[in-house]
Chain A
């Protein structure tokens, strides 16, 4: 039996690279930033970087290690998967974090590398690799959510350019973005085949962004309005009408980056294990057990669910590495991750009682106020990136081979 340790153990040839990474990190990662992760986020705005943070971003950008497996010619690291894993391990050991992130890295870059023209790759990829340009996603519209292909934003062919009119919504980080990758309709006569993939400058005349206030009080998403926006033909990715194919590929990158949630967030609630938080707020009985038998068993169910999820993430990763092909388990990750995340947040507000539902004020601790917002924001997890219902459709059709309704 090949244990996890054996599978992940470095081959001898990697030792030299490991030493190189260590030396480079020692020379370039500012010690003051150890563990102070301040990466580019898809939904949060830019913070004012300290000089150290700025230097670290530039060093990683120049080296291409923010996107370790992207080709070197476009500013990536050009590393093999094994080397990239070594880099990740050594960064973790050094307390270093990747300052390059956001939607350009997670979704758009990999898609453009696959479908973009040589000119487009040279023009856009290096700025993503260096963390210079923020990208946002123009997919959903008010009338096109789960049924994304019914989108209406129109790109009228004007010879050397498109004239774009319409509205996008749920544009994550739209208020801070420099560029938008958007699905538009250049052909109104065909549904899926009428869709094209267009890159739009968010600073162009006619683009207007309006943040949406959510139930959690935050505004990570925007409505984005496009009125007579001129977009050069050079900004079309792939062919006209190929947008649906390209757009779906991008969603695969999105889903694989979303499914880690419940596992990476771990078992913590307000910085403590769920059971410890329950004992703190609810007390214990004479045998030292959480003093609410029903709550105690629901915490057990949640913990078991969380551990089963982590075991499945681990299994899927090992299966993928050992070349058994993509694991069928991958298809369940988004839904189980959402379930674990939401259950944990629900337990959090229940454990804290009224203290866990505060909106603001001195009477609530920071952790309690955060718990309210976390709980509310968490409701988005089973909706965005393909709702749980859409994921179930995908499992039924693609994995189980269930039939179409005639």
Chain B
């Protein structure tokens, strides 16, 4: 855990208590079975709005608290522990796109409504199943955006899209020229392909803003992955203490103890690099790109290890739908691929360092 100020400690504890009690994995299970069209837990999102978490990265002049990305990460980590179906991880970076963008009108129109949780916003960047922000074809002509975006997180329910076009980043609000097609994914969360056909678009900035926002979204995703990994690991550790075979709790077998020790080691490294990436963003450092790639490559590898081991070490029960292990496994695989998998970020890190 990074060194936190009093505000951050309070925020983290509050988020942890809220997520554990009000948005546990059981709530996600109910949501999956109910399958609402918007694809997220609307009641929970209202509560999040009321607590002001929508405004954690929104400047104070627009109604936010401007606590910053380490703080947003602390909250998203707690949501990740409980697999809370919340659009916060998408809305935060989208708010930054507006706040860092060049349109004053967009700032005053949208940021206050994002801060209160009235609006769900998201990023629409990729145009293929594999993350590649360098290969885009969406175009803007006379203020109208056209193009197709794939696997947009929260695409089913978002009221505001931050869209990457070939010449930079744009804001598309409302439904004019916007068609959504739900993509039912293994993680049972909201993903949609979005077709923009002459959708009215407001310019936010050049392609370097696109990359800056994708880096922010990636760092926040790492925080969600950290929370998931933490909880998947803790639950596995608990299970090994209760399951008895050969007259012994599984927890007493050294072969398993060493696997758990190895996972714990990787988890500690994952926490360090995730917090370092969030802190780099808050400090406005020049090497945010490297810090983010280090974090996402590490987070992908470690969450993969922990969730696969969660299923394996739970044995048969972990294979059943009734158990939560499968939820962690399936969400992990989606997040590994989102914003570039470990291989993508290792290659990017190599290029940034001139290897």
A interface with B by C-beta (< 8 Å):
1-3, 7, 275, 278, 288-290, 296-297, 299-301, 303-305, 307-309, 311-312, 314-315, 318-319, 321-322, 324, 328-329, 332, 335-336, 389, 391-393, 395-397, 399-406
Contact = CB atoms under 8 A, between A and B. Distances in A.
A400 B251 CA distance: 10
Given A275-B353, A300-B349, A403-B241, A307 B257 contact: no
A308 B265 contact: no
B261 A311 contact: no
Contacts of A315: 1-2, 271-272, 275-276
B10 interface: no
A289 B350 contact: yes
Interface in B60-108: 68, 70-71
Greatest chain A CB density within 10 A among B247, B252, B253 is at B252
Given A329-B268, A336-B265, A402-B241, A389 B258 contact: yes
B258 A392 contact: yes
Nearest to A275: B355
A259 B201 CA distance: 54
A301 B346 contact: yes
A396 B5 contact: no
A401 B257 CA distance: 10
Given A288-B354, A308-B294, A392-B258, A1 B5 contact: yes
A324 B257 contact: no
Nearest to A305: B269
Given A297-B350, A311-B276, 12 more contacts: A1-B8, A1-B282, A296-B350, A296-B355, A297-B347, A300-B350, A304-B349, A329-B268, A332-B269, A396-B254, A397-B257, A402-B251
8 contacts: A1-B2, A1-B5, A2-B5, A297-B346, A308-B273, A332-B268, A395-B260, A396-B254
A393 B260 CA distance: 10
B297 interface: yes
B8, B251, B258, B265: most-surrounded residue (chain A CB, <10 A):
B265
B35 interface: no
Interface residues on B, range: 35 or more
A405 B248 contact: yes
Contacts of B262: 392
A203 to B, nearest CB: 43
B247 to A, nearest CB: 8
B110 interface: no
B47 interface: no
B44 interface: no
B237 interface: yes
Contact of B355 (A300, A314, A324): A300
A332 B85 CA distance: 33
A397 B253 CA distance: 11
Contacts of A399: 264
A3 B276 CA distance: 11
A300 B268 contact: no
B253 A311 contact: no
B283 interface: yes
Given A303-B353, A304-B294, A329 B272 contact: yes
Q: Which of A278, A290, A389, A405 has the most CB of B within 10 A?
A: A405
Contacts of B34: none
B50 interface: no
A308 B270 CA distance: 8
Given A1-B279, A301-B346, A319-B1, A395 B248 contact: no
